Amino acid sequence: MAAYDVNGTAVEHDEEGYITNLSDWTPELADVIAKAEEIEMDDERWAVVNFLREYYEEYQIAPAVRVLIKAIKKSMGPEVGNNKYMYELFPYGPAKQACKIAGLPKPTGCV
Amino acid sequence: MISTVYAVLFYVATVLLIVGTGMKVLKYARTPILLKIPVSPAPRTKRGVVLRMLREVLFFESLFKSNKWIWIFAYLFHYGMALVLLRHLRYFTDPVWWWVALIQPFGILAGFAMFAGLGGLMARRIFQPRIRYISNPSDYLMLALLMLIVFSGYSMKFLAHTDIIALKAYMLGLMRFQIGDLPTTLPLLVHLASVATLMIIFPISKLMHAPGLFFAPSRTMVDNARDKRFVSKWARNLPPLPEGIPTSEEG
Amino acid sequence: MAPLDKKADDDKFMDNPFVIPPLECGASLDTDTFKAYPEHNEALGFPGELLDNWKEVAIAKMGELAKRNRAFQVYLDTCVKCGACTDKCQYFLGTADPKNMPVARQDLLRSVYRRYYTFAGKYFPWLVGARDLTKEVLDEWYTYYHQCSQCRRCSVACPYGIDTAEISMAAREILDSVGVGQKYCNEIIAKLKKTGNNLGLNPKALAATLEDLEEDLEDETGVAVKIPLDVKGADILLITPSADFFAEPHIDGLLGYAKVFHSAGVSWTLSSYASEAANFGMFIGSYENMREVSWRIRQAAKDLGVKRIIFGECGHAWRVAYSFLNTLAGPFDFLDQNYPIPQHILEFTLDEIESGRLKIDKSRNDEFVMTYHDSCNVARGSAMGDKEGGQFDVPRAVIKAVCNNFHDMERDTIRENTFCCGGGGGLLTDDLMDLRIKGAKPRMTALKQVSDNHGVNKMAAICAICKTQFAKVMPKYGFEMDTIMSVHQLVANAVILDGQESDEAEEPTAEETP
Ligand code: SF4
Ligand code: SF4
């Protein structure tokens, strides 16, 4: 199975780039995944990733896009907390791409 | 000698046709339908289904909607053949039924329609890349065989005249299990042999589409799943699932 | 209102939705979907990995299915290779791969069936195109039976009603039975068996999400609209796709159901045990898995003591619900027999609209010029209302009741001839994105036509898969992702609740008694 290289340690991921062992996640890994996705992490993206991780910690699942946006709106203001901007931050979708960087499992189903 | 060979051929062909097709039809009928799978919009009543099937059989409704060229050729061929077959009843009835006598001239014309339809279908099979792609040797041969039947039939009329009276006597004899004398002109022998071939391969070939049509769940089922519970005989033997929510699970 | 915002280069589209491409053999051969992991397969009762004796098992399974399933048996026999179906599949139109022509897709399996189970194929294989089952054939099955969304468009065209969807389901069942499953479907079914839904949403998270949505509703309307969960003794159990709790524009549809139920004054509830309408058991052709998934709905309905079951907007779920639920999980003698079992939310909403109980302000949707995408499973696998064709008319009646502007797309791309969105039948996975984009081409072309000619700027649908697929694929064709809407999103926009704080110019008339 393929792996990310975080300063010499290998972190396994599945065929779509989601890490297989969720406890492997570190902020450094997030940077590595983001790079693989051709994304540069900045404060706004970190706010999203951090919220996703907190939410996951509590609920064992990623939040609905709407819930995520509402939370980001609260913390970063409406310029960042809207659907369009989320897709600018994560072109492949806040649900899937941001989850990948945050080390969460991929949301499955008709989403 | 030839008379006997052909007699045997026809008895065998008839038995194979009837028994083979009958067995297949029985198999279809006995195979359970698992679920309510009419292709909708589907009729909500049995009567509606009968009408739907009548439209399919009489007008080839679905084909008409989906492909006009194939529809024209198929329609010419099938209805041409139907008339031709009816016309041929005169070789098996004595005295000839009045309406069979009446359609004789139309039957002759219908043969041309049949041939034209077959020709069109063959041309599409050869020249239309999509249909060529899905065709197997048997698909061409089937059309060729049918064309041969029509062609040899006409040959008897227009090329090498055949003693029709003698033929009829032979046929009527066969029906009473008496083997008479078969006129031995080449076109007739070819005609009869190819017809017998068609009868023999009927139950083991795509010709089964004819009875199969009436067993296609997509068209023959009534759309009433909400009103009437449908359970297949296969599903009746499945192990029951537990009523109530198991407590170990969330929820 | 301006037509669709098109940044699209026009050569992404077809000249019209029916242009037949020249055949390109193998064009789609490399489009493969990820295989399931052993744990996914095993959770569904299948072998984890490819069996050593896979060949014997596959051949035996094929015979067993032919014996068990009349559709499979008859369809394998009756095809005359007339070719009427060859140009009907959106995946063929989009990919040009001849193996995506419905009859060619059937033949992948039919050729093997003939070899082992028919006289002609046993003794004259070359004559009837029969072939041995080899590993290459198995791989080919996996590839092309996962490029079929089981939409049944081809079946409508076939003079014998041959339904490629049935063949495709059987093929997947055979593949599963030798240990070759698809990751997308099998992982999801395994998840549903554990958590009650495709997403893996646990009851705590579901409750939190619903609370959040209730807050939104109250912020928007000033009325405390509830989205109840696990309420024992409620009248109505709503079964809706879990995407309605998660994705856009699905959630807007859910808010619409909530408003309609609130307005109607009925008591209703969701279930955390049966928190999924979708039933991917159908996609993999597994009766047993489909039954198990359906059974949860019966269990939940009994447990909660409801009187009615209503389904939310989901295409294949409605096929399973309308056509199969009674078979799989019935009889429902414990429910109120005065209502259809199960009922579609659109049937409920239309009743409310027609009886005048729902207050509607159509002008709130005036910025939209709508069209409607018939979802394949609703169109060709189910019905609504009590008249033939209700599955086409009920949704349109609802849309027209809440919107002033509506135009249908080209006749042969809607109703019983509707194209699949391109993501149905278990293909809604990122690893098939290329296929999904190509499969959507005829629909996108038809949409562009009405957009050019009538200024249509939104398309509504009633299927979770359609909605997700279009939200993802539309941008590739230059449409905004929010061009796709839920039908109940339109309803939600137009409904005026009792006690709702009214819009700017309106009189506060709705304050009276409920
Ligand atoms: S339309 Fe039906 S009979 Fe004709 S080729 Fe297609 S599947 Fe076969
Ligand atoms: S069922 Fe739909 S996707 Fe499958 S072959 Fe037929 S038209 Fe194509």
pLDDT tens column, A13-68: 999 999 999 999 999 999 999 999 999 999 999 999 999 999 999 999 999 999 99
B88 touches chain C (CB under 8 A): no
The two structure tokens encoding residue A73:
């709106």
Three-state DSSP state, A19: strand
Q: For the segment B212-247, what is each residue's pLDDT rounded down to a tens digit?
A: 999 999 999 999 999 999 999 999 999 999 888 876
Q: Residue A21 in contact with residue A10, Cβ under 8 Å?
A: no
User: Residue C226: pLDDT above 50?
Assistant: yes
| B180-185, long-range: CB < 8 A, 24+ apart | B180/B3, B181/B3, B182/B2, B182/B3, B182/B6, B182/B7, B184/B2, B185/B156, B185/B160, B185/B161
Closest CA to B66 of C340, C86, C211, C479: C86
- Average pLDDT for chain B: 94
Average pLDDT over residues B181-197: 95
pLDDT bucket at C502, cuts 50 / 70 / 90: low
Look at the block and give the residue holding tokens 């049935």. Answer: C166
Q: Residues C397, C403, C407, C413: what is their CA dihedral angle, to the nearest 10 degrees? A: -50
Q: Residue C344 in contact with residue C310, Cβ under 8 Å?
A: yes
Average pLDDT over residues B194-203: 97
Q: Quick one: what percent of chain A has pLDDT higher than 90?
A: 78
- Of the given ranges (A79-83, C128-132, C150-154, C251-255), which has the lowest mean pLDDT? A79-83
| pLDDT on residue B1 | 84
Count of beta carbons in the 10 Å neighbourhood of residue C422: 29
* CB within 8 Å of B132: residues ≥ 6 apart: B125, B126
Residue C74: burial class (beta carbons within 10 Å; 0-12, 13-18, 19+): buried
| pLDDT on residue B245 | 83
Q: Choose the residue to mutate in C103, C107, C108, C154 for probing ligand 2, maximizing ligand atoms within 8 Å of C-beta.
A: C154
A15 touches chain C (CB under 8 A): yes
Q: Which fold has domain B2-33+66-216?
A: Fumarate Reductase Cytochrome B subunit (1.20.950)
Q: Do A16 and C199 touch (CB under 8 A)?
A: no
Per this entry, what is the length of chain C? 514
Q: For the segment C2-52, what is each residue's pLDDT rounded down to a tens digit?
A: 444 444 456 689 999 999 999 999 999 999 999 999 999 999 999 999 999
Three-state DSSP state, A67: helix
B16 touches chain C (CB under 8 A): no
Amino acid at C365: N
Look at the block and give the residue holding tokens 């549903």. Answer: C192
Q: For the segment B11-55, what is each residue's pLDDT rounded down to a tens digit?
A: 999 999 999 999 999 999 999 999 999 999 999 999 999 999 999
Give the CATH number for residue A52.
1.10.10.370
Q: Residue C76 in contact with residue C113, Cβ under 8 Å?
A: yes
Closest CA to C370 of C458, C485, C446: C458
Distance of alpha carbon B163 from alpha carbon C278, whole angstroms: 70
Q: Do B206 and C79 touch (CB under 8 A)?
A: yes
Q: For the segment C286-318, what is each residue's pLDDT rounded down to a tens digit?
A: 999 999 999 999 999 999 999 999 999 999 999
**pTM of the model as a whole:** 0.94
Q: Residue C148 in contact with residue C373, Cβ under 8 Å?
A: no
Count of beta carbons in the 10 Å neighbourhood of residue B23: 11
| pLDDT on residue C509 | 47
Amino acid at B26: L
User: Quick one: how far is CA C145 from the chain centroid?
Assistant: 17
Q: Is the dihedral of CA C266, C270, C276, C282 positive or negative?
A: negative
What element of type H or E holds B2?
A: helix B2-15
| pLDDT on residue B162 | 87
The domain segmentation of chain B, as residue ranges, is 2-33+66-216
Higher pLDDT, C510 or B191: B191
* CB within 8 Å of C200: residues ≥ 6 apart: A61, A105, A108, C191, C194
- Average pLDDT for chain C: 94
* CB within 8 Å of B34: residues ≥ 6 apart: B232, B234, B235, C68, C69, C71, C287
Three-state DSSP state, B42: coil
Residue A110 belongs to some domain of the structure: no
User: Residue B109: pLDDT above 60?
Assistant: yes
Q: Residue C224 in contact with residue C287, Cβ under 8 Å?
A: no
Q: Residues B234, B240, B241, B246: what is their CA dihedral angle, to the nearest 10 degrees? A: -170
C120 touches chain B (CB under 8 A): yes
DSSP 3-state percent helix, strand, coil across chain B (nearest 5) = 70, 0, 30
pLDDT bucket at C230, cuts 50 / 70 / 90: very high
pLDDT bucket at A99, cuts 50 / 70 / 90: very high
Q: In sequence order, which ranges of C265-314 are alpha helices (DSSP H)?
A: 287-304
Distance of alpha carbon C217 from alpha carbon C226, whole angstroms: 9
* CB within 8 Å of A102: residues ≥ 6 apart: A25, A30, A48, A49, A52, A53, A56
Please give the distance, rounded to the nearest whole angstrom, from the Cα atom of residue C372 to the centre of ligand 2: 21
Please give the distance, rounded to the nearest whole angstrom, from the Cα atom of residue C316 to the centre of ligand 1: 24
| pLDDT on residue C512 | 43
Name the CA radius of gyration of chain B, rounded: 24
Distance of alpha carbon B166 from alpha carbon B164, whole angstroms: 5
Opening angle at CA B151, ends B150 and B152, nearest 5: 95
Domain count along chain A = 1
Which residue in chain A is spatially nearest to C189 when comparing CA positions?
A109
- Average pLDDT for chain A: 93
Write phi, then psi, for B52 (nearest 5 degrees). Answer: -60, -45
Q: Where in the sequence is the domain holding A36, given as residue range(s)?
A: 3-101
Residue B40: burial class (beta carbons within 10 Å; 0-12, 13-18, 19+): buried
| pLDDT on residue C514 | 40
Chains that touch B (3 or more CB pairs under 8 A): C
The Cα of A31 is separated from the nearest Cα of chain C by a number of Å equal to 23
| pLDDT on residue C460 | 98
Q: Do C34 and A16 touch (CB under 8 A)?
A: yes
Phi-psi region of A17 (alpha: psi -120 to 50; beta: other; left: phi over 0): left
User: Residue C332: pLDDT above 60?
Assistant: yes
* CB within 8 Å of B60: residues ≥ 6 apart: B71, B74, B75, B78, C159
Average pLDDT over residues C470-493: 96
Average pLDDT over residues C214-219: 95
* CB within 8 Å of C429: residues ≥ 6 apart: C33, C34, C183, C184
Q: Do B48 and C380 touch (CB under 8 A)?
A: no
Please give the distance, rounded to the nearest whole angstrom, from the Cα atom of residue B188 to the centre of ligand 2: 46
User: Residue B145: pLDDT above 90?
Assistant: yes
Q: How does DSSP assign B122-187, residue by residue?
A: HHHHHH-HHHHHH--HHHHHHHHHHHHHHHHHHHHHHTS---HHHHHHHHHHHHTT---PPP--HH
Distance of alpha carbon C4 from alpha carbon C407, whole angstroms: 14
Q: Residue C164 in contact with residue C155, Cβ under 8 Å?
A: yes
User: Residue B248: pLDDT above 60?
Assistant: no
Per DSSP, C238 falls in state E
User: Residue C182: pLDDT above 90?
Assistant: yes
- The protein residue whose alpha carbon is closest to atom 4 in ligand 2 is C148
| pLDDT on residue C513 | 44
